[in-house]
Amino acid sequence: MTAYGELIKLHAKQLKLPTLSRYEEVLRQAEEQGWGYEQFLCELMSREVEQRQLNQQVRRMSAYSGETDHQIRSKSTTQSS
């Protein structure tokens, strides 16, 4: 990993943007498809928003059902497989 990659991951952690720290997948896609900076940034931000919405849904379901977040996530991955 490059020095920039390490800094990106560090900054993402400090800013509490965990999805952004997994930027390599989006970077490869952007390079393959010739995206510009705005499209790349938009995709990263969209993934962060989607993940936060999913986390929020899991927390609400957990609060409603009394199950832990882990139990709910386990059920959803088992059902989708």
Contact between residue 12 and residue 21 where contact means Cβ atoms under 8 Å apart: yes
Structure tokens, 77: 């991955």
Report the predicted TM-score, pTM, of the whole model to 2 decimal places.
0.69
Nearest by Cα to 49 from 7, 20, 11, 22:
20
What integer pLDDT is reported at residue 26 of this predicted model?
94
Q: How many CA atoms lie within 13 A of 72 on its CB side?
A: 16
- Compare 67 and 32 and report the one with higher pLDDT: 32
pLDDT the model gives residue 76:
64
Question: pLDDT for 34-61, tens place per residue?
Answer: 999 999 999 999 999 999 999 999 888 8
